[in-house]
Structure 1
């Protein structure tokens, strides 16, 4: 409160050139621009974001493929659009960024050296930014954290150097600081220098107001192509996916289809995620041996790490192994499974899934929203036993032996899944988790036949709506270009 917050606004001519090129393009094209611009603008925006949040020297950068993609797309589009000069601005600015170090990096390094590595911490915007900064600052012994880890800061640290504009960081970095001093290091070309405020601040008596002092450093001259102040530009600095609109309409899925949400993953991958109960995940922060677990499907958010099998769902593989383990009992169990699922499918075809959800909810089935998913042959039964009993009664299926058979099959799947988890934990223990944080994707080497194609991938974004897709496409990773340059 006594010192306030310092903001180092560092001149960055190359970054300013890229920022001006993007904003000029957005201003000239307006909100009604053609979709052909989305690819190059997404890539350019991602490069600008990295310039802002990862100012390490070029030898520690991994941005060249991104720059090459921008130049390639600009060349390809030049004959398709009438505003070729805008493409030239973006491509030239991208190349300039690749040829120069960010001056903000030099300012950050000098600041760290002045107070000593024991007297400060560096706060990165995201895990990917932390990995990039750490690849550089590890050499001098500096500590790099993300905001959620600030409670681990040593008591000797006096200053937090936050490498991002204040508006992109959680308010707690300022309103509940873990060091006596907080300094933001950001490019001068980003004009918004306002501090984030507590969500409760506006409702509190005697609201605490934290002042900021801006220190302008270096060449802050704006390029001639910069959009004049006061002009409206629909600019979003954080890399954003382009979702479009739902194409499935209002129809209900057929027996071979399912409602699924599109999830974008690191490594240029996508995934159709259904409304099942859970999916295998990994938490790198947990101790060795406790990193692999499950995450509720509803709890999947950007930053979650999913453990997936390439080319096929893990669910199918676990089901097949469970059936083999059941031996002679499998035939009778599969017969009752097929029978009750056929009855469920008949009821869904007759009344539709929406009415089915309503009726089951009225009966007390807590997970009634997953009724369509239960018709999947590989999804054993509802997670809650009471829900399964109510479901069987609703479709007119005798409880014996169907109920007991499903529980037996589910236990066998759990056993197969537990065995796989042990192998995954072992593979994760051998893997480089720093590379996972940096790249967002990790290929696991499992000795088990059929499971050598396991990956861990970070969730980058989740669509705000569902689509109707083939049941066979659910939970199977696929290449998706729109995920390529998301942070």
Structure 2
């Protein structure tokens, strides 16, 4: 179907909703937002430094997540509380090393964090519960823009004896979901998308957000009336202030002096525009972290001629990232909610989008295959193939010790090699040099008899290794088919292992958090390899 036509169909089949915004009192949340904003503004470029990045990353994530998260802070499902609680431990080493003004800003963040936690998140909880308790359970849904938060809210509602579907905006708008009598949208509509009300799937919609957030009151459809008569064209939202319960009314902090917060220039309790709180991903900083390779793989990076590909960096759950090539084979996608036996699907790389789950080997494709599994695939050729491999590696080891890497590289190049990396070739991960031309040049330089025999044995070994890797990958995918994947839904990653092969590299299911907009040229040896990028878990 033509995308323009499909969009028009979506509007024409939409409900004509009654939309109300419930503004929830949240002075402590407002105080925390201002405190974090002032500290970030004062730090400016220093905010991405190692001593500040995790503290500020968690604080920034907590401030926008608290806007949409109704789970009480005392509940184990509260992701906001999980972000807030470690902040004092992260801040302690910084006190004493800062100037007076910056230390006051940091202390205000800690005090505001304590006040926010003490509120228990009761106001947001009560606002949501008031909606779901009086509505039809079979025709009511909750919409949240963050997948991890949606999972935790769904779990909390179920434990609270009020199970309701908690959907992403895309799920809510999907025609297959049908329509609802009542929908509760958590957070500002400018975060969720105007189509949730201009092409609403519910007869009545309530938006719940803090009273200190300023958002638009009128939202327009995709098409202007003069282009195509879609229905409805625009939706006006009326706001209703929810009074704070007497026992839950937060005690406001002393009103700051006008000069106490010079960075923001805001005075009193002025509302904050919703768009100021969105969390932009610093791709440059994440790319720098992703370029810190494991020592073994750095050896491969130092070669004079490395095959490179165009790839985008995908930020994954569990403090990981992976370079995803723009062109190439499909990736293995995991569908956690599909029936057992139907969870694994092949997905073209071009169709990978944030929110999906994919399967990657912990050490990259085809790595860490147990020798005993490869030997099984070698069959009767095993002894001879392994003997020849051990022989050329022993010769290489002696040559490196005798001549050193630089002199040996020169000799191998003189024999016609293009890529020369003898230090990496000696490692256990390397079965043989990638190119036959390089392998033959190395064998001639080492004085190995009948070099062609070694090259042929290397081909047999590499083929057996590939078949072993494939069989292990299918076995690990079988684990994904049968495993309880709750951890994956909540934390954004889950490892899968084979008990009978404990030395095998794990396969890990990751949620794709974000994909960089711009491709980069990277060595082909590192694509699809999960890389540690410490300090990104709060983005999930």
Tell me the TM-score normalised to structure 2 length. Answer: 0.65
Counterparts of 1:258 and 1:429, CA distance in 2: 34
Which of 111, 120, 132 is matched with 1:92 structurally?
A: 111
State how 1:206-355 maps to structure 2 within 5 Å.
208-219=233-244, 224=255, 227-228=266-267, 235-238=276-279, 240-244=281-285, 254-256=304-306, 258-259=308-309, 260-275=311-326, 276-310=328-362, 312-316=363-367, 325=377
**CA-to-aligned-CA distance 1:170-209 (integer Å, 9 cap, x gap):** 3331122111111111111221244554333476356712
> Does structure 1 residue 73 correspond to structure 2 residue 86?
no
> Does structure 1 residue 485 correspond to structure 2 residue 533?
no
Counterparts of 1:201 and 1:22, CA distance in 2: 39
Counterparts of 1:243 and 1:432, CA distance in 2: 36
Deviation at 1:46, TM superposition (A): 0.8
> Does structure 1 residue 22 correspond to structure 2 residue 36?
yes
Deviation at 1:12, TM superposition (A): 1.5
What is the aligned partner in structure 1 of residue 166 from structure 2? 144
What is the aligned partner in structure 1 of residue 132 from structure 2? 112
Other structure's SS at 1:456 match: strand
Deviation at 1:6, TM superposition (A): 0.9
Is 1:308–1:455's contact at 8 Å kept on the other side of the alignment? yes
Counterparts of 2:285 and 2:97, CA distance in 1: 21
Other structure's SS at 2:318 match: coil
Deviation at 1:348, TM superposition (A): 9.4
Q: 1:469 to 1:233 in 2, by over 3 A?
A: same
**CA-to-aligned-CA distance 1:52-83 (integer Å, 9 cap, x gap):** 12211121314444224322332233344431
Other structure's SS at 2:157 match: helix
> Does structure 1 residue 431 correspond to structure 2 residue 479?
no
Greater RCO, CA 8 A, separation 6+? 1
Counterparts of 1:175 and 1:425, CA distance in 2: 41
Q: 1:15 to 1:233 in 2, by over 3 A?
A: closer
Q: Note the residue ranges of structure 1 that are not aligned, 5 or more in a row.
A: 333-345, 350-375, 379-405
Which of 65, 68, 71 is matched with 1:53 structurally?
A: 68
Is 1:289–1:425's contact at 8 Å kept on the other side of the alignment? no
Deviation at 1:96, TM superposition (A): 2.7
Other structure's SS at 1:289 match: coil
> Does structure 1 residue 191 correspond to structure 2 residue 214?
yes
**CA-to-aligned-CA distance 1:194-226 (integer Å, 9 cap, x gap):** 455433347635671211111111359986358
Q: Note the residue ranges of structure 2 that are not aligned, 5 or more in a row.
A: 1-14, 257-263, 292-300, 386-415, 420-432, 436-458
Q: 1:444 to 1:412 in 2, by over 3 A?
A: closer
> Does structure 1 residue 175 correspond to structure 2 residue 198?
yes
What is the aligned partner in structure 1 of residue 185 from structure 2? 162
Is 1:26–1:234's contact at 8 Å kept on the other side of the alignment? no
**CA-to-aligned-CA distance 1:82-121 (integer Å, 9 cap, x gap):** 3111111222222333333221111110111112323411
Is 2:36–2:59's contact at 8 Å kept on the other side of the alignment? yes
Q: 1:246 to 1:421 in 2, by over 3 A?
A: closer
Cα RMSD for the two superposed structures: 4.3
Counterparts of 1:119 and 1:234, CA distance in 2: 31
Is 1:10–1:218's contact at 8 Å kept on the other side of the alignment? yes
Counterparts of 1:154 and 1:93, CA distance in 2: 43
Tell me the TM-score normalised to structure 1 length. Answer: 0.72
Counterparts of 2:211 and 2:28, CA distance in 1: 12
Q: 1:3 to 1:41 in 2, by over 3 A?
A: same
What is the aligned partner in structure 1 of residue 511 from structure 2? 458
**CA-to-aligned-CA distance 1:419-438 (integer Å, 9 cap, x gap):** 44653443224322333211
* Greater Rg by CA: 2
Is 2:140–2:183's contact at 8 Å kept on the other side of the alignment? yes
Is 1:167–1:194's contact at 8 Å kept on the other side of the alignment? no
Task: Give the number of equivalent residue pairs.
Answer: 422
Counterparts of 1:43 and 1:316, CA distance in 2: 34
- Mean CA deviation greater in 3-12 or 144-153: 144-153
Counterparts of 1:54 and 1:116, CA distance in 2: 22
Other structure's SS at 1:442 match: strand
